């Protein structure tokens, strides 16, 4: 490793700190540095134990208020001998960790603007807010390609499905965030969005041929690597065609996912793509890794294969013991161990963690959701909301044209990768009422065949039907589909030939699969207040729909275009 080269770019002082620190580390120091744990709170005892006794190399913050996050970071950094990496999922803004922050917009919303520079603008806002709380490592951007509408994980987390668009936006995002002083982790190696399964539950498979992968994911990853991404997150995703090409004779049963596949980490990522930075595993609490190797073997295998840090643990003491055993029995050689530790230290030095106290800003709360940052989020919302298809004459929606509105709300359990939370449906109905509409929330009536309500109860009493779907992708679910109400799909759009109907999806761009004949369909890609502000303005004709779909909302089907 040449630590003076990209992506660490260390000067003599930084290199000396890495070398000197490595020389002073004992076996427990090295063992602890391999782990990046997580915390849900500012529990002093737990955090001090991670820092002083476990000597972990990093900690990821889960969702917590800014005050708690600041206290957690302060405890960690003041309790450790070697400065710590503080990570967070920052895919759509710091709000995924600090709720008081700015939701800049889902990456697909940024993709819908069609302007790669928008990714850079969002990244600057995210970096500024995250760094004010002491976060120095972003688990993002997601540079997966959303190529399969059935995929339950990617969707709006990706910039889109077009290789050139994702490559450009990923590179702009990385360049801006790295320049701001935040380390990025591009994910999920070797590329998600092809399979329709969830690697939280099993090993998913990128089924591309070598030629297909080279024409797509290689371009995307190369662009972000060349832009200076300091880290890559390796996932529970297999790439069998490339693994077999790199390892002739490799049997199907021996194909491994990215985080334990030596040929994908060393030959492809480090060799062919020239990546010289740190590789961190995706969450090892996911089931993908567990289904190919016993955990006692899998834990050290990640580092032996070429990953440098181990993300999360199922049981810390057990996984810690498995890693120690792997070092002792030679699964992780001394050379591979020191290489991993060197990269961890180099990442820290490249962030300047050896030169400052790394504590949150005293006024961190004041640096979140500033007027300037909100203006960026509003601009992204205004340029991303997409009118996918429109029935002539239905828009604009005004109380003069449509006084009586029947509202159908479609919602999941309120959790997901999107911003969706409680009150989305009621909040939108209230906006319609404030605009002057009389809004009735649909409730299915009792009765089966021969005893349901007359269709005239709808056609004679309502001027407009509005659907709002709030169904976000999330881990541990196998698809994102609308579940209709009983009896017999009582809330299915069955009045589209008689009553003007508008369908709005605020989180998932693929609902035309289930409502193909809806004639006016809108995607917003996320459900922030800024999105709803622009959506309402566009619906009533006071603003334009400017977004362009960054992936195919028609799903390649003919009937969805009717």
Looking only at Cα atoms, what is the longest distance across the chain? 83
Query: Which residues have CB under 8 Å from 441's CB, separation 6+?
Result: 407, 409, 429
* 346: nearest Cα among 9, 27, 56: 9
What is the DSSP code string of 255-271?
---GGG-HIIIIIIIII
Alpha-carbon dihedral angle through residues 62, 64, 66, 70, given to the nearest 10 degrees: -60
Candidate list 144, 282, 308, 379, residue with the active-site label: 282
Among 353, 360, 334, which Cα is nearest to 8's? 353
26 noted as active-site residue: no
One-letter-per-residue 3-state SS of 32-89: HHCEEEEECCCCHHHHHHHHHHHCCCEEEECCCCHHHHHHHHHHHHHHCCCCCEEEEC
Distances 461 to 450, 499, 520 between C-alpha atoms, Å: 21, 10, 21
Whether 470 and 415 have beta carbons less than 8 Å apart is answered as: no
For 393, other C-beta atoms within 10 Å of its C-beta total 7
Q: What phi and psi, each to the nearest 5 degrees, are found at residue 175?
A: -55, -45
Beta bridge partners of 439: 405
Tokens of 185: 């982790």
For residues 261 and 267, give the distance between their C-alpha atoms in angstroms, rounded to a whole number: 10
- Do the beta carbons of residue 239 and residue 221 sit within 8 Å? no
Annotated catalytic residues are: 282
């Amino acid at each position: 490793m040449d630590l003076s080269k990209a992506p660490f770019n260390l000067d003599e002082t930084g290199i000396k700190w890495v070398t000197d620190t490595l020389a002073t580390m004992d076996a427990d120091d090295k063992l602890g540095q391999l782990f990046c744990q997580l915390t849900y709170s500012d529990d002093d005892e737990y955090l001090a134990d991670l820092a002083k006794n476990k000597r972990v190399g990093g900690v990821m913050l889960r969702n917590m208020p800014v005050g708690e996050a600041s206290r957690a970071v302060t405890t960690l950094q003041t309790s450790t001998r070697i400065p710590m990496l503080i990570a967070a999922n920052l895919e759509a803004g710091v709000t995924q960790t600090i709720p008081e922050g700015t939701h800049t917009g889902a990456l697909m919303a940024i993709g819908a603007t069609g302007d790669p520079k928008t990714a850079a603008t969002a990244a600057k806002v995210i970096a500024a807010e995250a760094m004010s709380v002491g976060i120095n490592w972003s688990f993002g951007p997601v540079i997966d390609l959303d190529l399969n509408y059935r995929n339950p994980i990617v969707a709006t987390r990706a910039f889109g499905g077009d290789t050139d668009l994702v490559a450009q936006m990923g590179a702009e995002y990385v360049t801006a965030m790295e320049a701001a002083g935040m380390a990025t982790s591009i994910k999920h190696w070797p590329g998600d969005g092809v399979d329709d399964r969830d690697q939280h539950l099993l090993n998913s498979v990128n089924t591309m041929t070598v030629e297909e992968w080279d024409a797509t994911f290689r371009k995307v990853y190369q662009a972000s690597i060349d832009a200076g991404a300091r880290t890559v997150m390796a996932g529970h995703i297999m790439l069998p065609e490339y693994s077999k090409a790199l390892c002739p004779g490799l049997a199907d049963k021996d194909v491994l996912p990215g985080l334990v596949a030596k040929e994908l980490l060393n030959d492809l990522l480090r060799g062919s793509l020239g990546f010289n930075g740190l590789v961190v595993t995706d969450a090892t609490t996911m089931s993908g890794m567990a289904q190919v190797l016993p955990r006692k073997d899998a834990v050290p295998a990640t580092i032996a294969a070429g990953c440098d840090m181990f993300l999360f643990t199922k049981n810390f003491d057990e996984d810690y013991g498995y890693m120690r055993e792997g070092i002792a029995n030679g699964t992780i050689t001394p050379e591979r161990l020191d290489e991993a530790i060197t990269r961890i230290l180099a990442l820290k030095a490249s962030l300047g963690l050896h030169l400052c106290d790394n504590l949150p800003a005293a006024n961190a709360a004041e640096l979140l959701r500033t007027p300037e940052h909100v203006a960026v989020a509003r601009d992204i919302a205004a340029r991303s909301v997409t009118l996918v298809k429109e029935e002539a004459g239905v828009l604009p929606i005004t109380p003069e044209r449509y006084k009586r509105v029947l509202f159908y709300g479609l919602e999941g359990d309120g959790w997901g990768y999107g911003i969706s939370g409680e009150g989305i449906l009621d909040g939108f109905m209230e906006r319609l009422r404030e605009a002057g509409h009389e809004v009735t929330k649909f409730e299915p009536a009792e009765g089966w065949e021969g005893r349901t309500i007359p269709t005239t109860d709808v056609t004679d009493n309502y001027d407009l039907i509005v659907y709002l779907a709030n169904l976000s992708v999330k881990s541990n679910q196998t698809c994102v589909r609308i579940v209709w109400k009983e009896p017999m799909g009582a809330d299915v759009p069955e009045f589209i030939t008689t009553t003007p109907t508008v369908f709005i999806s605020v989180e998932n761009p693929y609902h035309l699969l289930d409502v193909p004949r809806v004639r006016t369909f809108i995607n917003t890609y996320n459900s922030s207040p800024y999105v709803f502000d622009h959506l309402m303005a566009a619906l009533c004709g006071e603003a334009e729909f400017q977004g362009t779909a960054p992936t195919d909302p028609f799903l390649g089907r003919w009937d969805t275009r009717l």
